Amino acid sequence: MNVRTAGQFNGAPVHEIELANSAGAKIRVLTWGAVVRDFVLPTGRHIVLGFDSFDPYPIHSRSFGAIIGRFANRIADACFSLDGHTYELTRNDGGIHHLHGGAGAFGKRVWSLTDASATHVTLALDSQDGDSGYPGTMQATCTYTLTDFATLKIELSATTDRATIVNLTHHGYFNLAGQGNVGAHKLWLNASFYTPVGPDSIPTGEICPVQGTACDFTGVRDIGSSDIDINFVLNRPLASERVHPLTHAATLHAPDDALRMEVWTSEPGLQVYNGFKLDVDVPGINGERYKARSGIALETQRFPNSPNVPHFSKCTLREDEIYRQHTEYRVRAHA
């Protein structure tokens, strides 16, 4: 483990922690946003989008490698009701909806470093009652662990002193080729259904089969050049328990199939976004210019707008409960 000062944000120091495993894989984590700044395979290939230093992140990052919270994805009309009370959230999506936690987004704040070793780091963040309009004071933690050949294990947790909602996710963009766009990558999803959206990317409330649609990745196929930004319903029981065993959600194949990355998660949903809106003004890692489809985000989550759709996945967290999420991105060389 190596810890260094990477910069400052609003007068607070930002640290970077480098983890390495016995195979030679490395990840570099910023305390700002709990960001995975870099993910390097034992071969030396960099497989996530990011920048070579902290300085560009506050202005130019598109949530690269960040932990999103309190609520990932969109909440319609930036409001929800809980226990008979309606809560107004910040409207940071077109001035109408709430996106990725709003003004108090977890991915844009400095987390505390609480524990670390050669292969893991734990970060913590306190979110006060009323933060971006959310009720309750919340304590969130994120633990990154680097295992095996190149597996990034992510464990998220949260507690609250008052009933609230929560939906944390990791917003890394992956490119297994290390350069170019991801159109020639292949994708398989363990999802027979998805949640269609309206013009503002808000789910309609329907849960529809993928068969016969452009959202059908139940067979391995090219990502291609179409625009993808949709939540998939993973093939697992939707139960009331807060912790599920891990299920195989997705497999991403490099264009030459020399690398594969499996996504395993405890979550019921997977947002797939192929970065079609990316257009970053400054160079990224190793001078890469991030344009449309430079990376693909595979965000494990509760469904978008679920606080307002009773039959969507549960997202309420009460005082006597602990929110937990476990996701693993398992990268393997494929002969």
β-strand partners of 82:
85
Q: Provide the 8-state DSSP code for 58.
A: H
Give catalytic status of residue 328 as yes or no: no
Give catalytic status of residue 241 as yes or no: no
**Per the residue annotation, which of 267, 288, 299, 328 is the catalytic one?**
299
CA–CA separation, 156 vs 209, rounded Å?
A: 30
- The answer to whether 315 touches 165, Cβ cutoff 8 Å, is yes
CA–CA separation, 269 vs 260, rounded Å?
A: 21
**Residue 291, Cβ neighbours under 10 Å: how many?**
13
- The answer to whether 192 touches 210, Cβ cutoff 8 Å, is yes
Tokens standing for residue 250:
């997705």
Question: Residues 6 or more apart from 93 whose CB is under 8 A from it?
Answer: 74, 78, 99, 200
Strands 221-222 and 259-265: unpaired
CA–CA separation, 249 vs 233, rounded Å?
A: 10
CA–CA separation, 83 vs 71, rounded Å?
A: 18
Tokens standing for residue 125:
């963040």
**Per the residue annotation, which of 171, 185, 244, 326 is the catalytic one?**
171
Q: Provide the 8-state DSSP code for 24.
A: S
CA–CA separation, 224 vs 274, rounded Å?
A: 9
- Residues with a known catalytic role: 171, 299
